[in-house]
Structure 1
Amino acid sequence: MTSAMKIQINYTEAAEVLKKYLKLRGSPVAFRFATKKEEIPAGMEKIDKTIRHCSMVGLARNEGRIFYALADNHECNGGAWSLGLREITETLKTGDFYFRLGKFESAGSCKRTIDRVAHLNCGDTYATLYAPLEKTPFDPQVVLIVASPWAMLKLSQSSLFRLGGRINAEFAGIQSVCADTCAQTYLNGKINFSLGCDGSRKFSGIEDGEMVMGIPAELLPELTEALKIVAAAPGSK
């Protein structure tokens, strides 16, 4: 694998630490926005169906699948838009889409939400890449964790271990896996928790007792080292 980072990260070791100390069901997921065809590792297969981004994450997490997807592989327009693969649809832009789904009191309240959804510009992304972290053939930009609130507690403590402070999670109950934990985490370089939206819970296997977290891949070494200490601390549950 040709590294896209100056400092090498052992993704297999990082995945083992995350699995062990967070008691994960499935793998952490490596995710990358590829800006051009040449960024896709040789031999990496294109997914052979059209499904949602959150379902693709589920395939890597639960089945160990390694693949990439182009715009025409993405079934969800909202997800494809937030990931920079497709223009926003008119019904999503105006707020009518989520209004008709009964998620908001008015199209206006929906539009005020959509206007703040994190997204890449259309055309910024050529393909989206997915793999279980322990087997990733590419340098991820975001690592996705789907786990219990207890695991999220340990991750939040680990992220504050060195410098302290507060965690400011930002989400809206829609576009949880695409916008909240992939696009937003990539764009601002900060971890983000999300509750999992109706679509991701329905189509990607996120259970009622699980949440989602996006981690900038650059933070993995520091986060995993802190996790080993935090999990063994006398005050830990």
Structure 2
Amino acid sequence: MDQTIRTDFNYAEASAALKTALGLKTSPVAIKLATSRADIPEGMEKFEGTVRHCQMVSIARKEGRAFYATVDNHECMGGAWALGLREITETLKTGHFYFKLGKYESTAACKRTIDKIPHVESGATFATLYAPLEKTSFSPHIVLIVAPPRTMLKLAQASLFKYGGRIVSEFSGIQSVCSDTTAQTYLTGKPNYSLGCDGSRKFSGIEDDEMVMGFPIEMLTDMVDAVRVVTAAPGSKK
């Protein structure tokens, strides 16, 4: 398997630390956008069937499964496009897809949104890999967490702990797990927070009181260290 990061992480320890400090009910999910078959560990299970990226994330975080999926496994065309697995569909490109779903006043308003959706170059991704962080056997690109707003507060504080600043988050109420917190985080190298979307809440079991965030794997050690501090700080609500 090709390594795609020079740092060696203890993913099991990092996952345990995040789950304990943040009180997570499910596992953080490690995600990799594999550019070739060489990025897939030997013997790793290939997903059977066709579901959405957000559903695959839920399978990893709730069921503890590690697997990979190719374009034929991705049911959501918008998600597959955002992740770089396929070209954008014509109905999505023109704005008609979300217009017909009642999301926008006009196809133009929809197109203005779609044109700004972060997405990986079409065809650049061979497969998407998923695992609960503690079971990760590959070099991931993103760690994705689904949790209530108070947990997101602690993650935001952890993001700023070392250097300070402000949280700048981008989302549009659509494609929250595939674009907002996977593709955008992959492309920018910065954490991103999303309110979720109707699709991910309907199909993947993200609850009404949960949000989604992703951070790049390069931040894992700093995030673990900072989460331990900010959750135990005297000013932190217990």
TM bucket (normalised to shorter chain) is: over 0.9
1:111: which partner in 2? 111
Residue 64 of structure 1 and its aligned partner are, at CA, apart by 0.5
Counterparts of 1:35 and 1:3 in 2: how far apart (Å)?
12
SS at match of 1:153: helix
1:216 maps to which residue? 216
Q: 1:11 to 1:102 in 2, by over 3 A?
A: same
Q: What corresponds to 1:203 in structure 2? A: 203
Task: Quote the offset at 1:110 in angstroms.
Answer: 0.4
Kindly provide the amino acid, as one letter, of the partner of residue 198 in structure 1. Answer: D
Determine the structure 2 residue equivalent to 1:227: 227
Whether the 8 Å contact between 2:146 and 2:210 is mirrored in structure 1 is yes
Structure-2-length-normalised TM-score: 0.98
Three-state SS of the structure 2 residue aligned to 1:41 is: coil
Give me the whole-angstrom Cα distance separating, in 2, the residues matched to 1:108 and 1:194: 23
After superposition, where does 1:25-44 map in structure 2 within 5 Å?
A: 25-44=25-44
1:118, distance to aligned residue in structure 2 (A): 0.5
Deviations 1:69-115 (A, max 9, x none): 00010000000000001110000000000000000010000000000
Q: Is the 8 A contact 2:3 2:39 kept in 1?
A: no
What letter corresponds to residue 74 of structure 2 in structure 1? H
Partner of 2:179: 179
TM-score, normalised via structure 1 length: 0.98
Cα distance in 2 between the residues matched to 1:38 and 1:194: 32
Residue 2 of structure 1: CA displacement? 6.5
In 2, Cα distance between equivalents of 1:192 and 1:206: 17
Compare 6-15 and 85-94 and name the one that shifted more. 6-15
> Is residue 72 of structure 2 the alignment partner of residue 72 of structure 1?
yes
Residue by residue over 1:97-139, the C-alpha shift from the partner in whole angstroms, topping out at 9 and shown as x without a partner, is: 0000000010000000000000011110000000000001111
Over the aligned positions, Cα root-mean-square deviation in angstroms equals 0.9
Paired-residue identity, %: 65
Deviation (angstroms), 1:9: 1.2
Structure 2 equivalent of residue 81 of structure 1? 81
Question: Given that residues 185 and 191 in structure 2 are in contact (C-alpha distance below 8 angstroms), is that contact kept between their aligned partners in structure 1?
Answer: yes
1:133 lines up with 2:133 in the alignment: yes
Residue 58 of structure 1 corresponds to which residue in structure 2? 58
| Structure 2: runs of 5 or more not aligned | none
> What runs of 5+ residues in structure 1 fail to find an aligned partner?
none
SS of equivalent to 1:163: coil
Counterpart of 1:143 in structure 2 is: 143
How far apart, in 2, do the equivalents of 1:79 and 1:8 lie?
30
Instruction: Give the distance between the partners of 1:95 and 1:219, measured in 2 at CA.
Output: 35
8 A Cα contact 2:147 2:212, kept in partner: yes
Q: Could you tell me how far apart the structure 1 residues matched to 2:25 and 2:68 are?
A: 23
Give the count of matched residue pairs. Answer: 237
Deviation at 1:4, TM superposition (A): 2.8
* Superposition deviation, residue 8 in structure 1: 1.2
CA contact (8 A) 2:2 2:38 kept: no
Task: For 2:161 and 2:26, locate their aligned partners in 1 and report how far apart those are by CA, in whole Å.
Answer: 25
